[in-house]
Structure 1
Amino acid sequence: MNDRTRSPQFLLVHGAWHGAWCWRGLQDVLADRGWTSHTVDLPSVVPEGSAGKLPGLLDDARVIREKIDAVQAPLVVVGHSYGGAPITQATPGAANVCHIVYVSAFALDQGESLMTCFGGEQPDPATVQGVVPVREDPAETLYHDVPEQEREAALARLRPQTALSFAEPVDRAGWKTLPSSYVLCEDDRSLPPSYQEPFAERTGATYRLPSGHTPLLSMPGKLADLLERIAHGVPA
């Protein structure tokens, strides 16, 4: 059986301030349904008090590409929130990536960074230092519809994000050459639907969830349903 006829596996890439831990509930659901999934820990999420030269988006993309190349199977690469930016950079030219999925995520174009998407000027990445602290009121902006126990556990694990990861632009865009889809979160209080729409329009199909910003924690079963549909090629 060749790669084109095998069931794909999933590579799940977390967003800013998070880690691979945030995918555990979704991974359990996928495993129960017979799917294999993988995760990475992005180096741009750093311990409190980190200083000096810190990793950026390109470092994250390199770690993602290394994982992609290590998996000997077709892959659906899923990026949540910030994670959409480094998967955009990491996926072009990867022979085993069969689909990219953006979950309330940044489907950037060449020359764009998170900083420019938020209306800022593009800085010289060589001058960018320090970290971006966890965003204000994450219980509300990230997790307002997440069950209390899971919400409190997640809040305790959030860590600073390097400023360089928000400042470095991508110089290639996987969604331009690979099949891609967008999961638009309709009750998102971090990236409102109106902000997600232009990114969704860059992809080949838009799926919708009645969720807040983090459906991997608030409704992992429904997110798994969508990922299964995408992996099986079922239209939106």
Structure 2
Amino acid sequence: MSTFVLIHGAGDVGWYWHLVQAELRARGHDSIAPDLPCDDDAAGLAEYADSVISAIGDRTDLVIVGQSLGGFTAPLVCEQVSARLMILVAPLIPAPGEAVTAYWAATGWDREPREPHDDVFYQDVPPELAAEARARGRAQSETRLGEPTPMRAWPAVPTKVLICRDDRLLPVAYQRRVARERLGIVPDEIDGGHTPALSRPGDLADRLVGYR
């Protein structure tokens, strides 16, 4: 049995993962999904990682999973715990010393062709579930997002990248390119938009367990 450490994205809470957690339990695995202090102006990436590490406690056989902005936190966690695997889902993939606010221009996101949409997060999530996700979300503090990540090199942990073919926030061609340029990885792909833990929890759990 592994413990999947599930790290949410910007302005979110651990509840985002609750359907995936149920699927992981059904497959015989443990999981934790801590709330990051993303609405705290005093907290930066190091504090995000500390909150995850505190939640891990003495658990072992760890698989670290970072969603979206959680891609900045996951490698910091892997620097400080013994993890068998890191999985990045629809992720931001930081370079050493890069700030979140610098990521978009550095990766060419602002030059990527994409169609305008009213909903870039929950377009394929059932409406009632999407409404609950919005109600549970928190304001993402940007006070310290301009600080460089403390990561100085990508951690020596096997890494998988899983991207979403219908992602409106991070277009699939963009994600393929960034994964290749930054990690030398050809990412795997799953159907759906930016939040597959809500739209396709069973499929996502199958991928996570399969990587393990």
1:54 aligned residue (42, 46, 52): 42
Does 2:24 align with 1:45? Answer: no
User: How far off its partner does 1:23 sit?
Assistant: 0.7
Within the alignment, does 1:195 sit opposite 2:174 as a pair?
yes
Which of 132, 143, 158 is the equivalent residue of 1:179?
158
Q: Which runs of 5+ in 1 are unaligned?
A: 1-6, 47-52, 121-136, 232-236
Residues 228 and 187 of structure 1, relative CA distance in 2, 3 Å threshold: same
The corresponding residue for 2:109 is none
Q: 1 CA distance for matches of 2:85 and 2:206?
A: 16
Query: Cα distance 1:54–1:66, how it changes in 2: closer, same or farther (>3 A)?
Result: same
Q: Is the 8 A contact 1:14 1:82 kept in 2?
A: yes
Between 207-216 and 173-182, report the one with greater CA deviation.
Answer: 173-182
Shift in alpha-carbon separation, 1:16–1:85, aligned structure 2, 3 A: same
Q: How far apart, in 2, do the equivalents of 1:138 and 1:42 lie?
A: 28
Q: Which amino acid aligns with 1:55?
A: A
The question of 1:218 aligning with 2:186 is answered no
Tell me how many residue pairs correspond in the alignment: 201
Amino acid of the structure 2 residue aligned with 1:9: T
Q: Secondary structure at the match of 2:4?
A: strand
CA–CA separation in structure 2 for the residues paired with 1:110 and 1:204 = 17
Q: Which has the larger radius of gyration?
A: 1
Residue equivalent to 2:58: 71
Return 5+ residue gaps in structure 2 as ranges: 107-115
TM-score normalised to structure 2 length: 0.86
**Cα 1:185/1:83, change in 2 over 3 Å:** same
State the Cα deviation string for residues 93-118 of structure 1 (Å, max 9, x = none). Answer: 422x1111100112212111221111
Q: Tell me, what secondary structure is at the counterpart of 1:208? A: strand
Determine if contact 2:64/2:87 at 8 Å carries over to the other structure.
yes
Alignment map for 1:16-27 (pairs within 5 Å): 16-27=10-21
Residue 27 of structure 2 corresponds to which residue in structure 1? Answer: 33
Match of 2:88 among 94, 102, 110: 102
**2:131 maps to what in 1?**
152
RMSD (Å) for aligned C-alpha atoms? 2.1
CA distance in 1, matches of 2:187, 2:3: 21
- For residue 220 of structure 1, report the CA deviation from its aligned partner: 0.4
Alignment match, 1:227:
208
| Residues in 2 aligned to 1:165 and 1:64: alpha-carbon distance in whole angstroms | 18
Change (3 A) 1:71 1:170: same
Deviations 1:176-217 (A, max 9, x none): 411000011110011111332244221656221111000000
> What CA distance in whole angstroms lies between the structure 1 residues aligned with 2:25 and 2:118?
28
Identify the residue that residue 3 of structure 2 maps to in structure 1. Answer: 9
Preserved contact between residue 96 and residue 154 of structure 2 (Cα < 8 Å): no
Determine whether 1:167 maps to 2:146: yes
Secondary structure of 2:122 counterpart: coil
CA distance in 2 between partners of 1:160 and 1:115 (Å):
16
